[in-house]
Amino acid sequence: MMEATNIIFVPGLALFLAPPRDSFELLAVSAAVLCCAGFLYVGARYWLALDRRIKRSDDQAKAKALDLADSAEIPLLSMTVVAMLLAISGFAVRGPSPPMFSALILAGLALLEYVNYYHRQLMNFDRLSDFQRLLRTGRLRRAHMSRDLAVHRKRLQG
Protein backbone atom coordinates (compact mmCIF):
# COMPACT_ATOMS: atom_id res chain seq x y z
CA MET A 1 0.00 0.00 0.00
CA MET A 2 1.81 3.04 -1.37
CA GLU A 3 -0.14 5.64 0.64
CA ALA A 4 0.72 4.09 3.99
CA THR A 5 4.43 3.94 3.14
CA ASN A 6 4.42 7.51 1.86
CA ILE A 7 2.96 8.83 5.14
CA ILE A 8 6.46 8.37 6.59
CA PHE A 9 8.66 8.32 3.49
CA VAL A 10 7.65 11.57 1.76
CA PRO A 11 7.79 13.90 4.79
CA GLY A 12 10.87 12.05 6.09
CA LEU A 13 12.69 12.59 2.81
CA ALA A 14 11.73 16.26 2.79
CA LEU A 15 12.98 16.75 6.35
CA PHE A 16 16.20 14.85 5.61
CA LEU A 17 16.97 16.84 2.44
CA ALA A 18 15.91 20.26 3.73
CA PRO A 19 15.80 20.43 7.54
CA PRO A 20 14.26 23.61 8.95
CA ARG A 21 16.84 26.04 10.32
CA ASP A 22 14.63 28.33 12.39
CA SER A 23 11.19 28.52 13.98
CA PHE A 24 9.42 29.97 10.93
CA GLU A 25 10.78 27.27 8.63
CA LEU A 26 9.86 24.66 11.23
CA LEU A 27 6.29 26.01 11.36
CA ALA A 28 5.95 26.09 7.55
CA VAL A 29 7.43 22.64 7.03
CA SER A 30 5.46 21.15 9.95
CA ALA A 31 2.17 22.48 8.59
CA ALA A 32 2.96 21.07 5.15
CA VAL A 33 4.03 17.70 6.61
CA LEU A 34 0.83 17.42 8.64
CA CYS A 35 -1.54 18.11 5.76
CA CYS A 36 0.39 15.91 3.32
CA ALA A 37 0.58 13.03 5.81
CA GLY A 38 -3.06 13.61 6.78
CA PHE A 39 -4.39 13.19 3.25
CA LEU A 40 -2.14 10.17 2.71
CA TYR A 41 -3.49 8.65 5.93
CA VAL A 42 -7.09 9.19 4.81
CA GLY A 43 -6.29 7.54 1.47
CA ALA A 44 -4.47 4.64 3.12
CA ARG A 45 -7.40 4.01 5.46
CA TYR A 46 -9.84 4.08 2.54
CA TRP A 47 -7.84 1.62 0.40
CA LEU A 48 -7.18 -0.66 3.38
CA ALA A 49 -10.91 -0.66 4.12
CA LEU A 50 -11.70 -1.66 0.53
CA ASP A 51 -9.16 -4.45 0.79
CA ARG A 52 -10.75 -5.68 4.04
CA ARG A 53 -14.19 -5.47 2.46
CA ILE A 54 -13.09 -7.74 -0.37
CA LYS A 55 -10.98 -10.19 1.66
CA ARG A 56 -13.06 -10.36 4.85
CA SER A 57 -16.49 -8.99 3.86
CA ASP A 58 -15.88 -6.20 6.39
CA ASP A 59 -18.28 -3.37 5.46
CA GLN A 60 -17.72 -1.71 8.84
CA ALA A 61 -14.11 -0.83 7.94
CA LYS A 62 -15.28 1.01 4.83
CA ALA A 63 -17.89 2.96 6.80
CA LYS A 64 -15.26 3.97 9.38
CA ALA A 65 -12.83 5.03 6.66
CA LEU A 66 -15.52 7.13 4.99
CA ASP A 67 -16.45 8.69 8.35
CA LEU A 68 -12.79 9.66 8.74
CA ALA A 69 -12.63 11.03 5.19
CA ASP A 70 -15.80 13.04 5.75
CA SER A 71 -14.69 14.55 9.05
CA ALA A 72 -11.09 15.21 7.93
CA GLU A 73 -11.83 16.92 4.62
CA ILE A 74 -12.34 20.53 5.77
CA PRO A 75 -9.67 20.54 8.52
CA LEU A 76 -7.04 19.03 6.20
CA LEU A 77 -7.95 21.32 3.32
CA SER A 78 -7.80 24.34 5.66
CA MET A 79 -4.39 23.20 6.92
CA THR A 80 -3.22 22.85 3.32
CA VAL A 81 -4.22 26.45 2.58
CA VAL A 82 -2.37 27.61 5.71
CA ALA A 83 0.71 25.58 4.72
CA MET A 84 0.65 27.08 1.22
CA LEU A 85 0.33 30.59 2.62
CA LEU A 86 3.21 30.00 5.06
CA ALA A 87 5.46 28.70 2.28
CA ILE A 88 4.55 31.51 -0.11
CA SER A 89 5.01 34.16 2.58
CA GLY A 90 8.37 32.59 3.44
CA PHE A 91 9.45 33.04 -0.16
CA ALA A 92 8.09 36.59 -0.34
CA VAL A 93 9.52 37.86 2.95
CA ARG A 94 12.68 35.81 3.42
CA GLY A 95 13.56 34.63 -0.06
CA PRO A 96 13.83 31.05 -1.30
CA SER A 97 15.41 28.39 0.87
CA PRO A 98 15.45 24.59 0.75
CA PRO A 99 12.94 24.25 3.66
CA MET A 100 10.55 26.71 1.99
CA PHE A 101 10.78 24.73 -1.26
CA SER A 102 10.12 21.60 0.79
CA ALA A 103 7.09 23.19 2.47
CA LEU A 104 5.72 24.36 -0.87
CA ILE A 105 6.21 20.95 -2.48
CA LEU A 106 4.61 19.10 0.45
CA ALA A 107 1.66 21.49 0.53
CA GLY A 108 1.31 21.08 -3.24
CA LEU A 109 1.36 17.31 -2.85
CA ALA A 110 -1.31 17.60 -0.15
CA LEU A 111 -3.47 19.61 -2.54
CA LEU A 112 -2.97 17.01 -5.26
CA GLU A 113 -3.87 14.21 -2.83
CA TYR A 114 -7.02 16.14 -1.89
CA VAL A 115 -8.06 16.38 -5.53
CA ASN A 116 -7.07 12.74 -6.14
CA TYR A 117 -9.19 11.39 -3.28
CA TYR A 118 -12.09 13.82 -3.01
CA HIS A 119 -12.64 14.83 -6.64
CA ARG A 120 -10.79 13.41 -9.68
CA GLN A 121 -8.53 10.39 -10.08
CA LEU A 122 -5.20 11.96 -11.01
CA MET A 123 -3.25 8.72 -11.31
CA ASN A 124 -4.08 7.26 -14.69
CA PHE A 125 -0.85 5.52 -15.55
CA ASP A 126 -0.85 2.49 -13.24
CA ARG A 127 -3.53 0.63 -15.20
CA LEU A 128 -3.62 0.49 -18.97
CA SER A 129 -7.43 0.69 -19.04
CA ASP A 130 -7.37 3.96 -17.05
CA PHE A 131 -4.75 5.43 -19.36
CA GLN A 132 -6.65 4.37 -22.49
CA ARG A 133 -9.86 5.87 -21.08
CA LEU A 134 -8.04 9.15 -20.37
CA LEU A 135 -6.68 9.27 -23.93
CA ARG A 136 -10.07 8.37 -25.41
CA THR A 137 -12.17 10.84 -23.40
CA GLY A 138 -9.61 13.51 -22.51
CA ARG A 139 -11.19 13.70 -19.05
CA LEU A 140 -10.16 12.59 -15.60
CA ARG A 141 -12.41 10.02 -13.94
CA ARG A 142 -14.23 10.82 -10.72
CA ALA A 143 -12.23 9.49 -7.77
CA HIS A 144 -13.37 6.20 -6.23
CA MET A 145 -13.44 7.67 -2.72
CA SER A 146 -15.41 10.65 -4.00
CA ARG A 147 -18.14 8.36 -5.32
CA ASP A 148 -18.22 6.25 -2.16
CA LEU A 149 -18.20 9.35 0.03
CA ALA A 150 -21.18 10.84 -1.83
CA VAL A 151 -23.21 7.67 -1.17
CA HIS A 152 -22.01 7.56 2.45
CA ARG A 153 -23.01 11.19 3.05
CA LYS A 154 -26.48 10.60 1.57
CA ARG A 155 -26.95 7.64 3.91
CA LEU A 156 -25.95 9.77 6.89
CA GLN A 157 -28.48 12.47 5.92
CA GLY A 158 -31.33 10.04 6.00
Quick check: 122 and 142 in contact, CB under 8 A?
no
Q: Cα angle at 15 between 112 and 96, to 5 degrees?
A: 75
pLDDT-based confidence at 58, cuts 50/70/90? confident
State the Cα–Cα distance between residues 128 and 150, nearest whole angstrom. 27
pLDDT at 124: 55
pLDDT tens digit sequence for 73-117: 999 999 999 999 999 999 899 999 999 999 999 999 999 999 999
Quick check: 81 and 94 in contact, CB under 8 A?
no
pLDDT-based confidence at 70, cuts 50/70/90? very high
Closest by Cα among 86, 100, 109 to 10: 109
pLDDT-based confidence at 140, cuts 50/70/90? low
